[in-house]
Structure 1
Amino acid sequence: MDTREVRWGEELDREKIEKYLKRNVPDYPGPPLTIRQFGAGHSNLTYELTSGQWEAVLRRPPKGPVAKKAHDMEREYKVLDAVHPFFPLAPEPLDVEDGKLLGHEFFMMERKHGIVYDTNWPAQVTPSVDLAQNISREMVDRLAELHSIDYMKTPIKDIVKPEGFMRRQVEGWIRRFDAAHTPDSVEAIELKRWLSDQIPEEGESTIIHYDYKLNNAMFSEQQPDRMTALFDWEMTTVGDPLADLGVAMSYWMEPSDPEGLKYGLGDPPLTTAEGFYTRREFMERYAEKSGRDLRHMDFYLAFAYFKLAGIVQQIYYRYQQGQTDDPRFRHMNEFVNRLIRQASAQAGLETSNKGE
């Protein structure tokens, strides 16, 4: 996974970090400490720390005010601590800090190495239809594997409340979307009403990653179709596994998707390349592996696109409020509107809001 020089305004206090490491990380060998930043991602800030052969990853919330309960470093640490023994693709957490040291929470975890498939084939990989098929299959199978874990046998049971999950999700993301609304983004009135009215009856609950996408996974350099790590567990909880599948599909672009959808976060993901599963193929294999009934997937897909619109709108709102000056965020309202159109189409609604 590529790193870069730390972006201006997102630096860490090296002296404080070194003192923290000496006090809290037994195998830290001492300075000189090198700090670099992972360039991907639009939410939490993630850094690589190295000293000689020693290495670790530090995650902290974004700059500026954040939504209540969002970017909870202690919770993400606890999730990894609970899930890692049962699902080793989750990085092992090392330590968590409450904010007194740097003025914000952060946690540390092990550094994983491998290939991350993002928007282009990595230089060290020879592209092929077979490889794309195998990567797709691996993505499906690992998601089904995560959903097969009995969460009641893990410590995550103590920090979740699965009852009423889907209704809380719909109502909560409507509130977040409205709270971050800006005049240049659509209001999605009909879509919000439809989602509230169409929530499926409550079924089984499983551990869900809830941010499952290709560039959050890492693959082996020796076996480029075998997953070796899964990152970004910030949204992980226990809830409806089909909501997790829906979110995965909202990120899984296809060549035939509208240009505004494919390019909403920059270059299209590698899933648009020849050989990758379509969303239908992904969902069919998931149904085969998990035995779950996907009859209500139109709802889960519509909600997933709306949820993604809410996430992007929150980021755009922060940009509009001057809480970040990252140029990637300047036109994100256009992607929000495209996502609302996609969600509305999935719901079978005609988009009547201006801009939809």
Structure 2
Amino acid sequence: MSDPEVIAVRADEQLDVARLEPWLRAHLPDATGPFALRQFGGGHANLTYLLQFGAREYVLRRPPLGPIAPSAHDMQREHRVLARLGEVFPLAPRSYALCTDPAILGVDFHVVERRRGTVIRQELPEQFADDPALNRRIGHMVVDVLADLHQVNPVSVGLETLGRPDGFIQRQVDGWDRRWHAAKDQEIADVDHMLRWLKAAMPTAQATALLHNDYKLDNLMVDTDDLATPVAVLDWDMTTRGDPLMDLGYLLNFWNEVDDDPRWHYVSRMPTNHAGFPTRAEVVARYAERTGLNVDAIAWYHVFGVFKLVVIVQQIYIRYLRGQTQDRRFAGYDERVRDLARKGVVLIDAERR
């Protein structure tokens, strides 16, 4: 079965197969057939490759090219989480092996179970593009999966020492502030405005949960024949323990509505502006019902999610400016940064009214 997401490995993202293949054969179960290497073309940060040993398939994940921001693209963390989480949260693919030997690829990487399904990105698959009832089910599923993750007891999978939940919100604001100043190539007044407001209006965490920390529709894999049935949650390299509303606020970034500024649809696109999808308010209400958490301060978490995305997009753009990636998709990301910053200020103004 062909996979439209799988491409030939990009010229500037090749792996040293002569070093890699022997390591894989020594560390993976059933890695006995002829070896082939291809690349997953989606995504914008970590590099993801399809490993094939005859009929047996795995997924290799490694950080992007160039310098890595502190605590970002943490393959050791992702391996630690995925080696155990699937025991209680079946949507987490299993990680089979971690390599920390720089002699192999020059960076940490790990190898994960391959799951098959569809990843919904900017648009719904054409055959499902006009089905409001399905869209509503998809929207509810996205919220319910997040709520289910936040119900997992980290102790049950040996993750009770992951992260530092005490002072989590303050450290998140300070950390993403530092990342912004390390990556920025221009002064943007709207970003400064967001930061001032976030620091002045900071809420108090009411709970601690296992966070995905990059949860959105295109980090979900769904059943190809029923898009409302989840198959896997992907991209766990920023997982930690902390305030669960951080995940919800970040998700709201991508939950577009019909009346939103069109620039927001372009910057953080999920096809949730199609008929049938729940509104952001309905998303928040459903999450609150599923978890029992108070969501009165959700506007702060939403704005923080916007700021976090501003920094992530800027980090990608600065890698492009410095020639650390040749991927032309990133050439216009400076404009996306400015549009996102404006979105954050609009949300702040709406909260003040």
Report the TM-score range of the alignment, normalised by the length of the smaller protein: over 0.9
Q: Is the 8 A contact 2:12 2:325 kept in 1?
A: no
Residue 109 of structure 1 aligns to a residue whose secondary structure is strand
Q: Could you tell me how far apart the structure 1 residues matched to 2:304 and 2:127 are?
A: 37
Q: Is the 8 A contact 1:120 1:269 kept in 2?
A: yes
Structure 2 match to 1:116: 119
Structure 1 match to 2:249: 246
Structure 1 spans left out of the alignment, 5+ residues: 351-356
- Residue type at the aligned position of 2:59: V
CA distance 1:165–1:24, shift in 2 (3 Å): same
Residue 44 of structure 2 aligns to a residue whose secondary structure is coil
Q: Could you tell me how far apart the structure 2 residues matched to 1:101 and 1:115 are?
A: 31
- Residue type at the aligned position of 2:169: M
Residues 277-313 of structure 1, C-alpha deviations (whole Å, 9 max, x = no match): 1111111111111111111011101110001001111
Q: Which residue, 142, 148, 158 being the options, matches 1:145?
A: 148
Q: Could you tell me how far apart the structure 1 residues matched to 2:46 and 2:210 are?
A: 21
Structure 2 match to 1:353: none
Aligned-pair distance for 1:202?
A: 2.8
Pair 1:20-2:23 in alignment: yes
Structure 1 match to 2:275: 274
The CA RMSD measured in Å over matched residues stands at 1.8
Residue 167 of structure 1 aligns to a residue whose secondary structure is helix
TM-score, normalised to structure 1's length? Answer: 0.93
Residue 68 of structure 1 aligns to a residue whose secondary structure is coil
Pair 1:333-2:334 in alignment: yes
Aligned-pair distance for 1:168?
A: 0.4
Structure 1 match to 2:139: 136
Aligned-pair distance for 1:146?
A: 0.6
Q: Structure 1 residues 107-116 or 144-153, which shifts more? A: 144-153
Q: Could you tell me how far apart the structure 1 residues matched to 2:59 and 2:319 are?
A: 25
Q: Could you tell me how far apart the structure 2 residues matched to 1:62 and 1:285 are?
A: 35
Q: Which residue, 71, 76, 83 being the options, matches 1:81?
A: 83
- Residue type at the aligned position of 2:287: Y
Q: Could you tell me how far apart the structure 1 residues matched to 2:108 and 2:130 are?
A: 40
Residues 130-172 of structure 1, C-alpha deviations (whole Å, 9 max, x = no match): 1000011111111111111122333111232111111100111
Where do 1:1-356 residues align within 5 Å?
2-31=5-34, 33-98=35-100, 99-123=102-126, 125=128, 127-183=130-186, 185-186=188-189, 188-264=191-267, 268-348=269-349
Q: Is the 8 A contact 2:191 2:307 kept in 1?
A: no
Residues 66-112 of structure 1, C-alpha deviations (whole Å, 9 max, x = no match): 11222121111111123221111010001000033111111000000
- Residue type at the aligned position of 2:338: N
Q: Is the 8 A contact 2:208 2:241 kept in 1?
A: yes
Residue 17 of structure 1 aligns to a residue whose secondary structure is helix
Q: Could you tell me how far apart the structure 1 residues matched to 2:74 and 2:319 are?
A: 17
Aligned-pair distance for 1:125?
A: 4.2
Q: Is the 8 A contact 1:4 1:39 kept in 2?
A: yes
Q: Could you tell me how far apart the structure 2 residues matched to 1:186 and 1:7 are?
A: 37
Q: Structure 1 residues 238-247 or 274-283, which shifts more? A: 274-283
Aligned-pair distance for 1:62?
A: 0.6
TM-score, normalised to structure 2's length? Answer: 0.94
Q: Is the 8 A contact 1:186 1:337 kept in 2?
A: no
- Residue type at the aligned position of 2:256: M
Residues 191-230 of structure 1, C-alpha deviations (whole Å, 9 max, x = no match): 2111111111132100111111111111123433111110
Aligned-pair distance for 1:129?
A: 0.6
Q: Could you tell me how far apart the structure 2 residues matched to 1:123 and 1:342 are?
A: 29
Aligned-pair distance for 1:335?
A: 1.0
Q: Could you tell me how far apart the structure 1 residues matched to 2:121 and 2:258 are?
A: 15
Structure 2 spans left out of the alignment, 5+ residues: none
Q: Is the 8 A contact 2:173 2:198 kept in 1?
A: yes
